[in-house]
Structure 1
Amino acid sequence: MKILLYLFYPLSLFYQFLFWWQQRETSSFQLPNVLVISVGNLTVGGTGKTPFVQYLVRFFRKVYPGYAVTILSRGYKAEKSKDGAILADGLSPNLFGDEPSQHKEMFPDVQVIIGRNRKKSFLSYNQIHSKKHIVILDDGFQHKALCRDFDFVLLDANSPFGNGFTIPLGFLREPIRNLKRANAILFTKINSKNKNGLEKYYSNLKKIDPFLPIFSSQFESSVVEVLIHNELAQKTFLPKPNSKYFLVTGVGNPKHVFETAKTTLLSESIRTKFFPDHFEFNEAALSSLSEEILMDEILVTTEKDWIKMRANVGFLRGLERKKTTVLLLLIQVSVLEDEKLKSMLTGLVSTYETKNDLAVNT
């Protein structure tokens, strides 16, 4: 470990300098006539941003039905990311990205815009021309190019700061002290094993900002069966004793998905195959995967993965020939201080309406 420290610490410091310089040289643009809420993280890897974005969308659609909601995302690894695009549906993850496609399929009436240059993409493709408009900036904590009204930063309760070092020595995108830019912290993936160890992290965060709101959350999981002949249709699935499962996923934290699958399916008999985050699931990979699935196994995957797998008709036909049951592992965020968080969100909208002379008309 000491050898690695000597080798990579200078590189880590150099990375921090480059990050600082890039932030210093980047000016921020205020999107016109919108309330911008950023959902981001401090570390590389999955902290649960996607389900929290969906939590926010559900809240705003329910409590503020007069408001339009837009999800603005980079569209990581998407073919359209460079030029930007607006999604018509969630059926082309290779063009628009897996997570944006998942958002669009879940919320068809929500505007989803992608683009590496998110300012340009929003100004080019936004079709909502009302001040009653909330933009959720997905993975936005490091995206200084856009001003935001509020910054949520998500921390994985299992390892909030990794080893405490920035890339390449650790998993931090930027130093912990930079959380002073955050408006609220949300610990994710709280469970009986990690909740008692969070107090020390709370203490560290309060040293950075004694008034920083801190929330905690856990995942609620369920499974549904996909009807392969109509891959957008689903039905309830009841786990059966002695079933054999094959979990396939390409997400930022596959071990957490595995633990969630074991709990949800009430089974230890789960074979696994993990791919890198945002894995493409191209023709060759799916052909190989199809051969690996045993005749008596049930295929288990996430919504994010399935949205790419199902685009391959040959793969779907292979599953039908084998009579393979396909299960989707569904994840939703449950915030432990739910009422407090919703009250804060209500306050954000109230402040925005006052600033934009909308309060009387709401």
Structure 2
Amino acid sequence: MKIFLYLLYPFSLVYRLLFWWSRLGISPFHIPNVLVISVGNLTVGGTGKTPFVQYLVRFFQKTYPGYAITILSRGYKAKKIKDGAILSSGLEPKLYGDEPSQHKEMFPDVQVIIGRNRKKSFLQYNQINSQKHIVILDDGFQHKALHRDFDFVLLDANSPFGNGFTIPLGFLREPIGHGNRANAVVFTKLTPKNRQYLDHYKKALTQSGVTIPIFHTSFQAEIKQVLLNQNLLQKLWKPEPDSEIKYLLVTGVGNPNSVFETAKSVLFSDSIRTKFFPDHFDYGASSLSSLLKEIQTDEILVTTEKDWIKMRGDIGFIGELTKKNVRVLILFIQVSVEEEKEMQSMLAGLVSTYELENDLVLKI
């Protein structure tokens, strides 16, 4: 193992050098008349950005209904990633990406724009003219091309730093100390099991010079059954703790084990088989056909909203599920912030500062 580390260490140094070089000479573009909030990672893989972005959207929609909201995303693996696009609905994840499609489906009134060049995409597709405009930059911590007013960095409490090395030796996108470039750290996916290691992780942050505010979040989930014969409408599913129902959990996300633990907690069951695919998996006809063969007659198919958005586009797959009378359950995950009052006060302060700086405060 040590030999492997020694062999890869020079490549990790090269990666860090290239990362530093790629950021030289870039002057962040300041989008006029917009409050920009970034949600990003220090690591590759899933840290819970999607539910946290949705948490922010819900807060701003409820607290500041006069503000328009835009989610600006790269659109990973989207066919439209090069040219950019604005989403009219969440029905075409292959064109626009699974997470942007999920955002648009959940928040139809929110403007969702994608594109590899996010500055160009925003300037080309933005349809909001109001100064009361909040842009949430999804996966934006390494995106230096755009100025942001606030940066959240999310760390998965199950393994926030991996082995502490950058790519390819570890899964850090940049060194831990670079977290100090952000304005707040958010530990996500907290559970009673991983909470015991928090002090150790916080100490690592402090020793690396990261001294910014820290928040803690956990997942709350509800589960809904898809009504396959009623235009894919959904109803709440109430699991029976003492039942002998068997489940097959299928997902392609950054951290499938976290989804598995969440599923166990809301289904009150240990009878859950799993089939994990890579993150952002493209559910093609062949993979869905194979999946159909794996579902046993007495099992219920369980998946995430992110996965289902892609699965449901295959009419043949839906038809076979209906024909075989397979029940389908969808996990809907929301973020719960432990320091709720502090978080909301901080977000309100961002809006107040923005309004003062842009002369949006009513003068008496």
TM-score range, shorter chain: over 0.9
Q: Which amino acid aligns with 1:342?
A: Q
> Quick check: 2:180–2:210 contact (8 Å CA) kept in 1?
no
> Structure 1 pair 358/14, CA: closer, same or farther in 2 (3 Å)?
same
Q: For residue 122 of structure 1, what is the aligned residue in structure 2?
A: 122
> Quick check: 2:35–2:148 contact (8 Å CA) kept in 1?
yes
Q: For residue 101 of structure 1, what is the aligned residue in structure 2?
A: 101
Q: For residue 246 of structure 2, what is the aligned residue in structure 1?
A: 244
Task: State how far apart, in whole Å, the 1-side matches of 2:305 and 2:267 are.
Answer: 16
C-alpha deviation, 1:82, in angstroms: 0.7
C-alpha deviation, 1:230, in angstroms: 3.7
- The percent of aligned pairs where both chains have the same amino acid is 68
Displaced runs of 4 or more, over 4 A = 207-211
Matches within 5 A, 1:308-319: 308-319=310-321
Q: Which of 197-206 and 38-47 deviates more?
A: 197-206
> Quick check: 1:205–1:212 contact (8 Å CA) kept in 2?
no
> Quick check: 1:206–1:212 contact (8 Å CA) kept in 2?
no
Equivalent in 331, 334, 338 of residue 332 of structure 1: 334
Equivalent in 342, 352, 355 of residue 353 of structure 1: 355
Q: For residue 193 of structure 1, what is the aligned residue in structure 2?
A: 193
C-alpha deviation, 1:31, in angstroms: 1.1
Task: State how far apart, in whole Å, the 1-side matches of 2:163 and 2:210 are.
Answer: 23
CA deviation vs aligned residue, 1:165-195 (integer Å, no higher than 9, x gap) = 0000001000111111010000001111111
Unaligned runs of 5+ in 2: none
CA deviation vs aligned residue, 1:110-161 (integer Å, no higher than 9, x gap) = 0000000000000000000011000000000000011100000000111111
Task: State how far apart, in whole Å, the 1-side matches of 2:110 and 2:238 are.
Answer: 31
Equivalent in 283, 287, 290 of residue 289 of structure 2: 287
Task: State how far apart, in whole Å, the 2-side matches of 1:354 and 1:213 are.
Answer: 23
Task: State how far apart, in whole Å, the 1-side matches of 2:126 and 2:207 are.
Answer: 40
C-alpha deviation, 1:6, in angstroms: 1.0
Task: State how far apart, in whole Å, the 2-side matches of 1:361 and 1:30 are.
Answer: 26
> Structure 1 pair 311/328, CA: closer, same or farther in 2 (3 Å)?
same
C-alpha deviation, 1:27, in angstroms: 2.5
C-alpha deviation, 1:209, in angstroms: 4.9
Task: State how far apart, in whole Å, the 1-side matches of 2:311 and 2:144 are.
Answer: 34
Q: For residue 42 of structure 2, what is the aligned residue in structure 1?
A: 42
> Structure 1 pair 223/178, CA: closer, same or farther in 2 (3 Å)?
same
Q: Which amino acid aligns with 2:39?
A: V
Q: Which amino acid aligns with 1:51?
A: P
Q: Which of 116-125 and 21-30 deviates more?
A: 21-30
**For 1:196, what is the secondary structure of its paired residue?**
helix
Task: State how far apart, in whole Å, the 2-side matches of 1:254 and 1:318 are.
Answer: 26
Matches within 5 A, 1:1-80: 1-80=1-80
**For 2:362, what is the secondary structure of its paired residue?**
helix
The count of aligned residue pairs is: 362
C-alpha deviation, 1:211, in angstroms: 4.7
Task: State how far apart, in whole Å, the 1-side matches of 2:36 and 2:342 are.
Answer: 20
Q: Structure 2 length normalisation: TM-score? A: 0.97
**For 1:38, what is the secondary structure of its paired residue?**
strand
Q: Which amino acid aligns with 1:83?
A: D
C-alpha deviation, 1:164, in angstroms: 0.0
Task: State how far apart, in whole Å, the 1-side matches of 2:363 and 2:316 are.
Answer: 53
Unaligned runs of 5+ in 1: none
> Quick check: 2:225–2:235 contact (8 Å CA) kept in 1?
yes
> Quick check: 2:70–2:134 contact (8 Å CA) kept in 1?
yes
> Quick check: 1:161–1:172 contact (8 Å CA) kept in 2?
yes
C-alpha RMSD of matched pairs (Å): 1.3
Task: State how far apart, in whole Å, the 1-side matches of 2:148 and 2:238 are.
Answer: 43
Task: State how far apart, in whole Å, the 2-side matches of 1:194 and 1:126 are.
Answer: 41
> Quick check: 2:205–2:211 contact (8 Å CA) kept in 1?
no
Task: State how far apart, in whole Å, the 2-side matches of 1:211 and 1:322 are.
Answer: 55
C-alpha deviation, 1:232, in angstroms: 4.1
**For 1:101, what is the secondary structure of its paired residue?**
helix
Task: State how far apart, in whole Å, the 2-side matches of 1:292 and 1:207 are.
Answer: 48
> Quick check: 1:218–1:333 contact (8 Å CA) kept in 2?
yes
CA deviation vs aligned residue, 1:37-75 (integer Å, no higher than 9, x gap) = 000010111100000000000000000000000000000
Task: State how far apart, in whole Å, the 2-side matches of 1:281 and 1:231 are.
Answer: 20
C-alpha deviation, 1:204, in angstroms: 3.0
> Structure 1 pair 160/330, CA: closer, same or farther in 2 (3 Å)?
same
Q: Which of 21-30 and 342-351 deviates more?
A: 21-30
Please state if 1:174 is matched with 2:148. Answer: no
> Quick check: 2:177–2:210 contact (8 Å CA) kept in 1?
no
> Quick check: 1:231–1:310 contact (8 Å CA) kept in 2?
no
Task: State how far apart, in whole Å, the 2-side matches of 1:247 and 1:74 are.
Answer: 28
Q: Structure 1 length normalisation: TM-score? A: 0.98
Q: Which of 134-143 and 24-33 deviates more?
A: 24-33
Task: State how far apart, in whole Å, the 1-side matches of 2:340 and 2:363 are.
Answer: 27
